[in-house]
Amino acid sequence: MQTTIQHLYKPPHNGNGLLYAWFSSMHTRVDIMLCSKKPEEELMLVVDRIHEELQRLEKVANYYDPASELASVNRTASISPVILSEELYAMIDCCLEYNRKTLGYFDVTVHSEQYNPNTIHSVCLSAENRSIRFLQNGITINLSGFLKGYALDNIRGILKESRIEDALINMGNSSILALGNHPMGTGWEVNHILLHNECLTTSGNDSPDRRHIISPRNGKLVEGAKQISVITESGTIGEIISTSLFAANGKQRITLLAALSPLVNKYKINYTQI
């Protein structure tokens, strides 16, 4: 079924025109605002490219789609090695690297059967033939705490190629890319935070009943209505860090932040707890 893209357009008046478009993708609503002197038809072509890119990424790495490449890996990698596409190999390799850098608080194997903090070490990548093998049964990789941030970085590339300097991409209020300026001012204000050429990624529970992040320390859902938001230049890194900080408790977070200090400086990371 083809997803419907809806949009509104305000023609330019002594400045840029404004296109607002929205559609569903990656199990959420995606809202796009583009400010530019380009005509409506050209701006809609940019929106189409963004939509197609999100659909493509879902075919690669959607944990919940049985037809995705990732789902095929989860079904068969414990039986025999699986040759990966270059992109999925790079995604999983990145996630294994950041499992180490986050002291295990970012773990894409937490949905595995009989999970424990060492489960991720049974995921074996071979750079020689770009393959993956699970050393035990019941392992699954879930990239949901990674994919939207990765998508934001790809969308940034599309906007740069299209010479769109002022834009806001909002994926379900949890993964946001803000470029340039709002037509009425400097930067983009989102949840009382002023963003300018930055990503805002949020992990957490918005109510006591809505819990979806599993702690790698005990394999249980993190309780409580709280959220961690991270502001950084990279959506991928922001998604990883916000997930890690939320999975850690208060005392653990102090240790984790100390370990993350090189990344905090490199990627200009700020975070806030709600």
Q: Which residues contact 266 (CB under 8 A, 6 or more apart)?
A: none
On the question of pLDDT at 206 being above 60, the answer is no
Q: Two tokens at 117?
A: 């903090």
pLDDT the model gives residue 227: 80
Residue 273: pLDDT band with limits 50, 70, 90: low
Backbone angles phi, psi at 164, to 5 degrees: -100, 115
3-state secondary structure of 271: strand
Q: What pTM value is reported for the model?
A: 0.92
* Domain locations along the chain: 69-134
Backbone angles phi, psi at 32, to 5 degrees: -130, 130
On the question of pLDDT at 185 being above 50, the answer is yes
To which residue do tokens 């999975």 refer? 247
Average pLDDT, the chain: 90
pLDDT, tens digit, 9 for 90 and up, residues 145-155: 899 999 999 99
Q: 118 and 170 in contact (C-beta within 8 Å)?
A: no
pLDDT the model gives residue 81: 98
pLDDT the model gives residue 264: 74
